[in-house]
Chain A
Amino acid sequence: MSDAAPLKQPNWFSRLAHPGEFLRWSKPMLWPLGIATAMLFAIGLYMALFVSPGTSDNVGPTLRILYMHVPNAWLSQMVYAVMAVAALGTLIWRHPLADVANKAAAPLGAAFTALALYTGALWGRPTWGTFWEWDGRMTSTLVLLLIYLGIIALWRAFDDQLRAGRIVAVVTLVGAINIPIIKFSVDWWQTLHQGSSVLVSGGPRMAPEILATLLVMVVAFTLLFAMLQIVSIRTEIFRRRADAMSRQAAAGGRTA
C-alpha cells in the first residue's frame, strides 16, 4: 500500500482555466452552437420579415430596422462586460484564459458596436431626419467603439502578450466607466434616442409579436457571439503555442 496521498482532482474552475482543457471541452460545442445560431437566425428573420407588423405606434414604419439595431446595441455593451470580467480575471485571479478571452472579444465587440452605430444611423435618418446627432447615447456608443479599437491596437503593440494582458486589463476596467454612461444616457440627458422599452418597470412597452421577434434576434446574435468567441479563444491559444514553438525552434530547441 502506498503512502502517497491521492492526487487531488482539479475543480471545474481549474479545468476551465487550463487552456488544454478548454480546447478539449469547447470543440464539441461548436457544431451544436453553430446549428442553433443558424436556426435562430432563420426563425428570427422569418418573424421579422413575414410575421411581425412593419410598423408600430411608438416606432413607426422603420420598426424592422430595430430587429437588427437592438441586438447589436445589446452586444456592444455585453461584449464589453465580458471583457471587463476577463480583465478582473487577469488582475485578481491570474486566470490563464482571462487575457485570451479579452483579446478574442475585442474585435467582436468592435464589429457589433460598428453595426449598432450603422443600423442606428439608418434608423435615425427617416425617423429623426438625421443620420447622426451628438447626443448622449450616440456619442457614448461612438466612444465605446474607439475604446474597442484602442484595446485592439494595444494588444498588437506588445510582443510580450502576458505584459500586454495586464496593461489591457487596466485599460479595459477604466473604459468600463462608459457602459453605465451608455445605459443611463437617455435618462441623464435630453436626447433624441428614446428610453428603454423592454427592460422597464411594468413590463415591455410593445406588442407580443414584436417583443418575441426582438428576443429571438437578440438570442440569435448572442449565440453567434458565443460561437465566434469560443473559436477566437481557441485560435489565440493555438497562436501562442505556435509562437512559443517558433521561439524554441529559433533558439535551437528542436527535438531530434
Chain B
Amino acid sequence: MIDFGPHAGFIIWTYLGVAILLAALIGYVAWDSRRVQDKLKALEARGVRRRSDRTATGG
C-alpha cells in the first residue's frame, strides 16, 4: 500500500481529478472525430463530391 502521508485525500483527489478530466478530453476528441467522419461518409454516400475531386476526375 502506498503511503500518501498526512494529506492523502488531497493527493488522491488530484490524481482522480486529472484522470477524469483527461479521460473526458480524450473521449471528446475521439467522439468529435468519429462524428465528423461519419458526416463526411454520409455525404459521400449521398453522391456529394468535393469540387476538387470532380475537377480531378474530369466531372
Residues of chain A having any CB pair with chain B under 8 Å: 49-50, 54-55, 61-62, 64-65, 68-69, 72, 107-108, 111, 114-115, 118-119, 122-123, 125-126, 224, 228, 231-232, 234-235, 238-239, 241-242, 244-246, 248-249, 253-256
Contact = CB atoms under 8 A, between A and B. Distances in A.
Given A55-B5, A62-B11, A122-B10, A249 B48 contact: yes
B2 A49 contact: yes
Interface of B: 2-7, 10-11, 13-15, 17-18, 21-22, 25-26, 28-30, 32-33, 36-37, 39-40, 43-44, 46-51, 54, 59
Contacts, number: 107
Main SS at interface, chain B: helix
A22 to B, nearest CB: 15
Contact of B18 (A61, A62, A68, A123): A68
A65 B5 CA distance: 12
A88 B7 CA distance: 45
Main SS at interface, chain A: helix
Contacts of A69: 14
A188 to B, nearest CB: 28
A253 B54 CA distance: 10
Given A111-B21, A245-B43, A249-B46, A123 B10 contact: yes
B29 A228 contact: yes
Contact of B40 (A61, A232, A241): A241
Given A55-B5, A239-B36, A126 B25 contact: no
